[in-house]
Amino acid sequence: MEPEVRPVAVRGLEDVIAADTRIGYVDGANGKLYYAGYEINDLAKHASYEECVFLLWNDRLPTKKELMDFRAEIIPEMTLPRPLIQWFRRVPRGVHPMVMLRSAISDLALYDKETEDNSLEANRRKAARLVAKVPSVIANFYRIYNGLDLIEPDPKKGIAVNFLRMFTGKEPDKKSREAIELMFVLHADHGFNASTFAARVTASTLADIYAAVTAAIGALKGPLHGGANQRVMEMLEGIGSPDDVEDYINGLLARRERIMGFGHRVYKVEDPRARHLRKYSEDVCGGDVACSRYYAISRRIEQQVKKTKGIYPNVDFYSATVQHALGIPVDYYTTVFAASRIAGWTAHVMEQHADNRLMRPRSQFVGKLPRRFVQMEKRKK
């Protein structure tokens, strides 16, 4: 029997349209990103993270009263279930924070009475809990793991600033507050990236929102996706001085290795988020010798990679120096990405559940077919 003849598989699903969405749009040819139709440059300039979350979930910007009510609803949700805090104390040493986060978010489902309810109303309430609790999990785990006291969320502050103060234990200054807010706004959604797609595939089986977000966190961890920001900082540390950039980059390219924080499947020009982060990276690093050196190295890498490969930095490149300046340890960088992207993941799960059809593509079978079964005693290697 001959296998059924089919068109060839699209490797990496490049340019495949997998669903309709009103949430995010990446215009790769023109280097533009939109949340529910609003351009990221406008949102980065004028909107808070909570406004973006409301926008992604409701397809419109909130009024002042709605925003106040929304904040009043979500900030108290930053408190975590006690058993989860106790579990943090039992996590073995040396675990990557993304592994902890993936397990912790799956664990949160145990303490939510609405886990099994996929109605729009229940999903909306669970989404609010997740948007508040993902940053708290990261901050609380970090402090417990490092023998530090926990910091309570401040109801007068937003999620991003609360995250930073609960993580570092310090009240952030104006520059740091602006930088963390910008980080959260810029990472909130990005169309059908790998982690969002993983969330939507999981949601399309009518699995619960915690299952979908757990799948998304698993996908975000990889260095070709959110894990790239950690690899960027490791590269900056490895280079050491701006004068060594040329040799270092040429060496990577000669070995056909990837330069982390560069290139993108959809953007053919500069990622608009990188432009904002480059500027903030310069601003927040000013005054700090090590951080300014990282910024200088980053600028040289950017010039060298553009010249030799003609590719541009993506969101992960300058996010590394911004996070360094904010006092985030390098192995937590990808968790900060997750702390913001939870907005988009939850929006996509709600959109999927609201108009669901199981996502079930096919593969091209390229093995031998059919094969005659061989009894154990007659098998050869």
Positions that interact with ligand CMC (CB under 6 A): 12, 193, 224-226, 228, 258-265, 309, 311, 314-316
The rounded distance, in Å, linking the Cα atoms of 273 and 249 is 23
The least CB distance from residue 170 to ligand CMC, in Å, is 28
Helix (H, G, I), strand (E, B) or coil at 313: strand
Nearest to 347 by CA among 33, 58, 26: 58
With contact defined as beta carbons under 8 Å apart, do 165 and 171 qualify?
A: yes
Nearer to ligand CMC, 36 or 228 (CB): 228
The least CB distance from residue 223 to ligand CMC, in Å, is 6
The least CB distance from residue 164 to ligand CMC, in Å, is 21
Query: Any alpha helices (H) in 205-270, and if so which ranges?
Result: 209-220, 228-239, 245-254
Nearer to ligand CMC, 174 or 255 (CB): 255
Amino acid identity, residue 72? A
Nearer to ligand CMC, 19 or 224 (CB): 224
Nearer to ligand CMC, 163 or 333 (CB): 333
For residue 75, give the DSSP letter: G
Cα–Cα distances (Å) from 192 to 101, 116, 316, 344, in that order, read 22, 25, 17, 10
Structure tokens at 42: 């406008």
**Residues with catalytic function:** 264, 316
The least CB distance from residue 267 to ligand CMC, in Å, is 8
Nearer to ligand CMC, 74 or 228 (CB): 228
- Per the omega criterion (within 30 degrees of 0), is the bond before 370 cis? yes
The least CB distance from residue 144 to ligand CMC, in Å, is 27
The rounded distance, in Å, linking the Cα atoms of 77 and 345 is 18
Nearest to 248 by CA among 239, 259, 256: 239
Nearest to 362 by CA among 9, 2, 3: 9
The least CB distance from residue 98 to ligand CMC, in Å, is 13
Structure tokens at 28: 């790769």
Structure tokens at 130: 């997740």
Q: Which residue is nearest to ligand CMC (CB)?
A: 263
Nearer to ligand CMC, 132 or 315 (CB): 315
